[in-house]
Amino acid sequence: MSLHIIILAAGQGTRMKSSRAKVLHELAARPLLKHVIDAAQSLNAEKIHVVIGHGREEVTRCLANENVHWVMQEKQLGTGHAVAQAMPNIGEDDLILVLYGDVPLIQVETLNALLTRAMDESLALLTVVLPDSSGYGRIVRNAAGVVQKIVEHKDASESELEIKEINTGILAAPAAKLKQWLGQLKNSNQQQEYYLTDIVAMAVTDGLEVKTTKPTAIEEVSGINDRTQLVALERYYQYQKAKRLMLQGVTLADPARIDVRGELHVGMDSEIDINCIFEGEVSIGKNSKIASNVIIINSKIGDNVEILANTIVDHAVIENECRVGPFARIRPDTILSKGVHIGNFVEIKKTTVGKNSKINHLSYVGDAEIGYSVNIGAGTITCNYDGADKHKTLIGNHVFVGSNTQLVAPVKINDNASIAAGTTVTKNVEGGALAISRVPQKTKSNWQRPSKKK
Ligand code: UD1
Ligand code: CA
């Protein structure tokens, strides 16, 4: 018996009021459907079948790298019809799990619990009890509490409408039985659709046990129909991430003002101030401080690091005890070694900075290798681009670069050299030397400044 997962994602999503397919709208910067595929992937299924219809070109293009089997549903004739489209690719002895592309936060533990209930040739349904069950399919049980059928809201009687236990839509069933039931579906109902939910009554008739299980949180089974629901679920998701961080020993100034769009790992006693965004894979060590409005993308930050306000760090490595910002921009392929200080309005790209070196003010450093204990003065610029190609600037250890220096690459400044303020360096500088290129100053005494004629 192997597991096949069918994800329904063919619906239009009219209420999103969008030209983009509903399942491509993003939660935590990942398409809704991608969340569901990722959950499905961790169940070790034989195959994942995604039923698509509306916006299918866009969906398959956007998720082209996913290891799934795309199934076309030409016309959206109902959830039963949608599941039926995937059945020809599934064997009789298999177990089937049905998920939804617009229900992104379903958890693997919940699905495992559901699958366990279906293992012995039972039909397993994921249900929840809602204070307001309107709009949903109701779980109809007999006096003994045994599930008899699901009735859709539009087809329900007065007394059935009172039922608070609803169908989440997520279910697991043995393939042979499901095939048989799907073949018997009729669309003689209010919506003239082939309801997947009608299989429940068929299972009861066939003498199969219908078992139910509940998710840990209601949000796991929340479907997205419009942008208000999308943002509500985003906030829930972000709060879960924030809570996990706090329970791991991280101080957050406000759990409602942090956004994690990927995987964030933070060591104990680190602190994160408000309005920080973390994208992709980010790790931060112990005792580090991230000030407000910091954006960190796919980067590794060490212990005892201080990132000051309004700094952006993108695809970079910042080692222990560095201090970066405020208002610094650390661009891809930058490595800041232990104890480096980067100050305000400094942009660094594709550069390695050695231990304890400082670039404290207003500089652009690109395509450079900088040694240890180097001081780069305010307004230093590596002129790395000649209009056609990029060139490297190599700076040794203990070098002092005075303010307002231009380093015209390719150029090399050797250990212990000094560059006088205002110098344009165009030639390599030997170790221990002073390079100075400055127009000698002239002073004109009693200078009359020009003034406007009256
Ligand atoms: C369905 C269930 C209902 C349950 C509710 C939970 C049925 C008949 N009803 O109702 O019991 O309480 O979900 O939200 O199953 N889809 C397709 N192809 C189709 C039709 C639907 O792929 O032909 C997809 C949609 O994109 C959507 C999902 O299936 O993601 C659910 O379809 P929808 O029509 O919204 O079902 P509901 O009326 O919400
Ligand atoms: Ca729905």
Active site residues: 361
60 part of a folded domain:
yes
pTM for the predicted model, two decimal places: 0.94
Residue nearest to atom 6 of ligand 1 (CA): 168
**pLDDT one digit per residue (tens) for the chain, 454 residues:** 899 999 999 999 999 999 999 999 999 999 999 999 999 999 999 999 999 999 999 999 999 999 999 999 999 999 999 999 999 999 999 999 999 999 999 999 999 999 999 999 999 999 999 999 999 999 999 999 999 999 999 999 999 999 999 999 999 999 999 999 999 999 999 999 999 999 999 999 999 999 999 999 999 999 999 999 999 999 999 999 999 999 999 999 999 999 999 999 999 999 999 999 999 999 999 999 999 999 999 999 999 999 999 999 999 999 999 999 999 999 999 999 999 999 999 999 999 999 999 999 999 999 999 999 999 999 999 999 999 999 999 999 999 999 999 999 999 999 999 999 999 999 999 999 999 999 999 999 999 999 998 8
In this predicted structure, what is the pLDDT of residue 454?
A: 83
Q: Tell me, yes or no, whether 269 and 417 share the same domain.
A: yes
**Tokens 């004629």, residue located:** 453
CB 124 within 8 A of CB 139: no
Q: What gap in Å lies between CA 58 and CA 256, rounded to an integer? A: 33
- Residue 444 inside a domain? The answer is no
Give yes or no for a contact between 449 and 432, defined as CB atoms under 8 angstroms apart: no
The H or E element that residue 369 is part of is strand 368-370
Ligand 1 centroid, distance to 107 Cα (angstroms) = 19
Amino acid letter at 333?
A: D
Distance CA(86)–CA(64), nearest Å, equals: 19
Rg (alpha carbons) of the chain, rounded to whole number: 31
Half-sphere exposure of 33 (CA within 13 A, CB side): 32
Residues 234 and 209 in one domain: no
User: Does 169 sit in the ligand 1 pocket, CB within 6 Å?
Assistant: yes
What tokens does 211 get? 């078992």
Please indicate, yes or no, if residue 103 is contained in any of the structural domains: yes
Residue identifier of the C-alpha nearest atom 21 of ligand 1: 79
Q: Which domain holds residue 382?
A: 227-435
Cα 94 to averaged position of ligand 1 atoms, centre (Å)? 23
**Structure token digits, residue 395:** 């700076």
Task: Report the CATH number that the domain containing residue 192 is assigned in CATH.
Answer: 3.90.550.10
Ligand 1: which residue has its CA nearest to atom 14?
168
Q: Same domain, yes or no, for 268 and 157? A: no
Distance CA 370, CA 368 (A): 6
Indicate whether 270 and 323 sit together in one domain.
yes
Q: Among the bound ligands, name the one nearest to the CA of residue 78.
A: 1
355 and 393 both lie in a single domain: yes
Domain-located, residue 158: yes
H or E element at residue 183: helix 175-184
299 by Cβ neighbours in 10 Å (0-12 / 13-18 / 19+) ranks as buried
Q: Are residues 284 and 217 located together in one domain of the fold?
A: no
CATH number reported for the structural domain that contains residue 331 in this entry: 2.160.10.10
Whether residue 109 sits in one domain with residue 236: no
Q: Are residues 201 and 245 in the same domain?
A: no
Name the percent of the chain in helix, strand, coil, to the closest 5: 20, 35, 45
**Residue 203 φ/ψ region, left for φ over 0, alpha for ψ in the -120 to 50 degree band, beta for the rest:** alpha
Amino acid (1-letter code) at residue 112 = N
In this structure, is the dihedral angle defined by the CA atoms of residues 195, 198, 203 and 205, taken in order, positive or negative? negative
Closest-approaching ligand to the CA atom of 191: 1
Predicted confidence at residue 259, as pLDDT, reads: 98
Can you read off the two tokens belonging to residue 126? Answer: 């994921």
Task: Write out pLDDT tens, residues 284-301.
Answer: 999 999 999 999 999 999
Question: Does the beta carbon of 195 lie inside 6 Å of ligand 1?
Answer: yes
Phi, psi of 388 (to 5 degrees): -125, -50
Atom of ligand 1 nearest to the CA of 101: 30
Question: Which of 186, 221, 256 is a domain's end point?
Answer: 221
Question: In this predicted model, what pLDDT tens digit does every residue of 22-70 receive, in sequence order?
Answer: 999 999 999 999 999 999 999 999 999 999 999 999 999 999 999 999 9
The upper half-sphere exposure of residue 306, i.e. CA atoms within 13 Å in the direction of its Cβ, equals 10
Question: Whose alpha carbon is nearest atom 39 of ligand 1?
Answer: 136
Q: What is the pLDDT of residue 423?
A: 98
77 C-beta closer than 6 A to ligand 1: yes
Distance 3 CA to ligand 2 centre (A): 25
Ligand in nearest proximity to the CA of 79: 1
- For position 1, what pLDDT does the model report? 82
Looking at the domain assignment, is residue 450 inside a domain? Answer: no
Q: Are residues 99 and 209 in the same domain?
A: yes
**Does the residue 188 lie in any domain?**
yes
Any atom of ligand 1 within 6 Å of the Cβ of 79: yes
Residue 150 CB–ligand 1 contact under 6 Å: yes
Element (H, E) at 178: helix 175-184
99 lines ligand 1 (CB under 6 A): no
Say if ligand 1 is within 6 A of residue 196 CB. Answer: yes
Number of domains in the chain: 2
Classify residue 181: in a domain, yes or no.
yes
- What is the three-class DSSP state of 249? coil
Three-state secondary structure of 12-70: CCHHHCCCCCHHHCEECCEEHHHHHHHHHHCCCCCEEEEEEECEHHHHHHHCCCCCCEE
Pocket of ligand 1, candidates 79, 149, 150: which has the most ligand atoms within 8 Å of its Cβ, to mutate? 79
311 in any annotated domain: yes
Burial (CB < 10 A; 0-12, 13-18, 19+), residue 143, is: exposed
Compute, in angstroms, the gap from residue 12 CA to the centroid of ligand 1: 11
Residues 409, 286 within the same domain: yes
**11 pocket-lining for ligand 1 (C-beta < 6 Å):** yes
